């Protein structure tokens, strides 16, 4: 033992000095970076719940029209905005999800590695980065200038935002479907369309639904594409195809810049409603994924 | 050709070449519909470029290169947009400086430090952060965060005023709604995407490299520097660029907290403006050249984000391909 102690010792298992402390510091910094993110998230959620919960009631969620900003919080409700959000997001979903799924089917089942499919896949990823306000301007120029403001115009803008997200998530799921399923089905004499519709898509349905729900959650919270496509009105407009409409996010945007207490309180209430909708969609998406994962093996 | 057209009747007797069967109509229709949906992506991108530039053409033609001057005064028909471009760059850079270290830190925490059963809840929290709508960040930013941080700004400014570099950036005037507040809020909003992309890239580092580093006696930090970082550098740069694209285009939160003042100043605590925010705030009352100018800002924004995204996706894909060994 004495001989070894005389030599210059390097104990590999327990680094000492600066090596040890720099490693500690790095680990602490990593944990800190997570805490740094946790603080604003907790702060936002706490504020929204604390300020919004007292405003929310059945009358707030369904009543209308939305009162002028000067009136206190207990007058009227956000009914028109809730209705608008459900209608507009719903129509956008009905448009974007089937188109997105078919686009992903093209990319994975038909396109494969050909240059066109590669280009479409690449540009679809790039399209997820197009700012939402640009989608609003786009729909304003091709639709609103010719047909006027309507909930449908807003739905078009949201559908443009959702399309690449649905394509990407569906594509990832289709890639996971084992080729043996397709081959087995071809061996029974099925056509390619039949294989895709009755074998490949059902095998990936959990992941596709979950991806679509996340896209809906993202679209439901978007304000910028709605500003110049639906405007913001105070009365409920059940007809999405004509006339200006309103939605929760656009209403929050208007109320946030208002100096009146009543308007701000209504803004917090609407924010809590919106966050609740988005979180519920996300949790349902997670549950669907978890259920799907159980069937995989 | 004749064998193909006769495939129908021949089928009953058993075709000579069963694999040369003409595909049924339904099958071909489905293929065409799927292709059309794929092409829809390209069509929409081209339509965005064409239709918005058409609407913006009168701005580009009447102002020419003056669009890049610092002179925005719709009342006097002056539409120089430099202040907005400057504001977009400044807020996006602040957001990146704040968000990137944090995001890479969380990505490393998730991949290299915590065990799987702890990483799930952390991912959930990051996902929650991504789901909070932009307008809720804006509402919180302007009603709660800005009034609170205003005092901190005022304090910092009073300390650093006159100090060479710090005074230049952090001196008076200060305001709760400012470049810096917008940058902070944008940082919160881009953290989830930068984190999740960096994590994906870092997760592809081969286990054998990491184990090799540990076997040589490296600490975790040395392992990260020696094995993880060289491997994932490119991909992380791509993730950061995607975050930059997000930060440039994020509209509503910035519109509420940036202070809405078209000025070019080095003072980060002063109110400013950026491209998406000015479009959101002024488009409603804009007509003629004014509207064309705002539409043109949209075209510039579209062009910037497309360029950034193409570069970023290219980098991410190339590094992913190299990793697969292709």
Q: pLDDT tens-digit profile of B13-51?
A: 455 555 556 678 888 999 999 999 999 999 999 999 999
DSSP B8: H
Is B54 part of the contact surface with chain A (CB cutoff 8 Å)?
Answer: yes
Q: Which of B30, B51, B301 lies closest to A142 in CB terms?
A: B51
List the single residue in B with minimal CA-CA distance to A271: B136
- Yes or no: say if A223 and A249 are a contact pair by the CB < 8 Å rule: yes
Is A31 part of the contact surface with chain B (CB cutoff 8 Å)?
Answer: yes
Q: What is the pLDDT of residue B100?
A: 96
Shortest Cα–Cα distance, A168 to chain B (Å):
12
Q: Write phi, then psi, for B73 (nearest 5 degrees).
A: -145, 85
Give the model's confidence band at A251: pLDDT under 50 very low, under 70 low, under 90 confident, else very high.
very high
Task: With a cut of 50, say whether residue A1 has pLDDT above it.
Answer: no
Beta strands in chain B (DSSP E): 72-73, 78-79
Give the model's confidence band at A110: pLDDT under 50 very low, under 70 low, under 90 confident, else very high.
very high
Shortest Cα–Cα distance, B65 to chain A (Å):
22
Q: Which of A26, A130, A193 lies closest to B302 in CB terms?
A: A130
Q: What is the pLDDT of residue A102?
A: 96
Q: What is the pLDDT of residue A29?
A: 95
Instruction: List the 276-295 stretch of B: residues with Cβ below 8 A of A.
Output: 276, 279-280, 283-284, 295
Q: What is the pLDDT of residue A8?
A: 59
Q: Predicted ipTM? A: 0.91
What is the arithmetic mean of pLDDT over A232-255? Answer: 91
A283 contacts: CB under 8 Å, gap ≥ 6? none
A185 contacts: CB under 8 Å, gap ≥ 6? A194, A195, A198, A199
Structure tokens at B254: 């910035």
Task: With a cut of 90, say whether residue A84 has pLDDT above it.
Answer: yes
Q: Which of A26, A163, A249 lies closest to B135 in CB terms?
A: A249
Q: What is the pLDDT of residue A138?
A: 96
Is B264 part of the contact surface with chain A (CB cutoff 8 Å)?
Answer: no
User: Is B122 within 8 Å of A126 when comparing Cβ atoms?
Assistant: no
**Residue range A16-74, pLDDT digits in tens:** 788 889 999 999 999 999 999 999 999 999 999 999 999 999 989 988 788 888 888 77
Q: What is the pLDDT of residue B326?
A: 42
pLDDT above 90: percentage of residues in chain A:
72
- pLDDT per residue of chain B (326 residues) written in tens, 0 to 9: 344 444 444 444 455 555 556 678 888 999 999 999 999 999 999 999 999 999 999 999 988 888 898 989 888 888 999 999 999 999 999 999 999 999 999 999 999 999 888 888 999 899 899 999 999 999 999 999 999 999 999 999 988 887 888 888 888 888 899 999 999 999 999 999 999 999 988 988 899 999 999 999 889 999 999 999 988 888 899 999 999 999 999 999 999 999 998 989 989 999 999 999 999 999 988 999 999 999 999 999 999 999 999 999 888 887 767 665 54
Instruction: List the 104-163 stretch of A: residues with Cβ below 8 A of B.
Output: 105-107, 109-111, 116-117, 119-120, 122-127, 129-135, 137-138, 140-142, 145, 160, 163
Give CA separation, B82 vs B60, B76, B89, B263, B265, in Å. Answer: 14, 17, 11, 9, 12
**Residue range A154-190, pLDDT digits in tens:** 999 999 999 999 999 999 999 999 999 999 999 999 9
Q: What is the pLDDT of residue A72?
A: 82
Task: With a cut of 70, say whether residue A6 has pLDDT above it.
Answer: no
pTM for the predicted model, two decimal places: 0.91
DSSP B273: -
List the single residue in B with minimal CA-CA distance to A192: B27
Q: Give the three-state DSSP class for A243.
A: strand
Of chain A, the end-to-end C-alpha distance in Å amounts to 55
What is the arithmetic mean of pLDDT over A246-260? Answer: 92
Give CA separation, A279 vs A172, A201, A221, B195, B281, in Å. Answer: 23, 26, 11, 20, 28
Query: How big is chain A by its Cα radius of gyration, in Å?
Result: 26
């Amino acid at each position: 033992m004495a001989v070894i102690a005389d030599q210059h010792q390097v104990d590999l298992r327990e680094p000492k000095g600066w090596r040890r402390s720099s490693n500690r510091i790095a680990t602490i910094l990593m944990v800190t970076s997570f805490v740094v993110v946790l603080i604003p998230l907790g702060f936002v959620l706490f504020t929204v719940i604390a300020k919004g919960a007292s405003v929310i009631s059945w009358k707030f969620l369904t009543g209308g029209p939305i009162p002028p900003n000067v009136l206190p919080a207990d007058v009227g409700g956000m009914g028109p905005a809730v209705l608008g959000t459900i209608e507009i997001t719903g129509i956008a979903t009905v448009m974007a999800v089937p188109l997105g799924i078919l686009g992903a089917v093209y990319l994975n089942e038909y396109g494969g590695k050909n240059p066109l499919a590669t280009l479409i896949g690449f540009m679809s990823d790039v399209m997820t980065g197009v700012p939402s306000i640009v989608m609003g301007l786009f729909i304003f120029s091709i639709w609103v200038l010719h047909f006027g403001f309507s909930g449908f115009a807003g739905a078009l803008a949201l559908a443009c935002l959702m399309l690449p997200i649905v394509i990407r998530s569906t594509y990832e799921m289709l890639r996971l479907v084992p080729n043996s399923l397709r081959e087995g089905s071809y061996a029974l004499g099925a056509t390619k369309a039949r294989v895709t519709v009755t074998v490949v898509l059902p095998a990936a349905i959990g992941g596709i639904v979950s991806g679509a729900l996340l896209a809906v959650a993202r679209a439901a919270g978007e304000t910028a594409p709605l500003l110049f496509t639906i405007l913001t009105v105070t009365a409920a407009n059940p007809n999405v195809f004509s006339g200006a409409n309103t939605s929760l996010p656009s209403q929050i945007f208007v109320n946030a810049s208002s100096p009146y207490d009543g308007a701000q309180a209504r803004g917090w209430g609407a924010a809590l409603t919106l966050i609740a909708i988005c979180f519920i969609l996300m949790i349902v998406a997670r549950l669907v994924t978890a259920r799907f994962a159980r069937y995989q093996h | 050709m004749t064998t193909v057209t006769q495939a129908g009747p021949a089928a009953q007797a058993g075709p000579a070449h069963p694999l040369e069967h003409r595909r049924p109509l339904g099958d071909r229709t489905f293929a065409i519909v799927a292709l059309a949906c794929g092409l829809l992506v390209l069509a929409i991108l081209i339509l965005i470029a064409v239709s918005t530039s058409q609407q913006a053409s009168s701005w580009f033609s009447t102002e020419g290169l003056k669009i890049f001057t610092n002179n925005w005064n719709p009342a006097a028909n002056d539409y120089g947009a430099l202040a907005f471009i400057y504001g977009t760059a400044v807020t996006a850079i602040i957001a990146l400086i704040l968000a990137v270290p944090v995001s890479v830190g969380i990505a490393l925490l998730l991949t290299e430090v915590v065990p799987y059963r702890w990483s799930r809840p952390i991912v959930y929290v990051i996902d929650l952060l991504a789901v909070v709508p932009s307008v809720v960040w804006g509402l919180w930013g302007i009603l709660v965060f800005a009034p609170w941080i205003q005092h901190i700004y005022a304090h910092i400014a009073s300390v650093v005023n006159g100090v060479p570099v710090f005074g230049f950036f952090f001196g008076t005037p200060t305001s709760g709604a400012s470049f810096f507040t917008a940058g902070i809020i944008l940082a919160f909003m881009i953290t989830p995407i930068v984190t999740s992309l960096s994590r994906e890239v870092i997760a592809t580092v081969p286990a054998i490299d990491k184990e090799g580093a540990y076997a040589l006696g490296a600490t975790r930090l040395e392992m990260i520097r020696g094995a993880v970082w060289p491997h994932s550098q490119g991909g992380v740069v791509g993730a950061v660029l995607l975050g930059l694209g997000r930060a440039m285009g994020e509209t509503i939160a910035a519109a509420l907290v940036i202070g809405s003042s078209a000025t070019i100043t080095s003072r980060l605590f002063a109110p400013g403006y950026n491209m998406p925010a000015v479009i959101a705030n002024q488009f409603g009352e804009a007509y003629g050249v004014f509207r064309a100018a705002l539409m043109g800002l949209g075209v510039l924004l579209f062009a910037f984000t497309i360029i950034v995204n193409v570069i970023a996706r290219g980098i991410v894909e190339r590094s992913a391909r190299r990793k697969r060994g292709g």
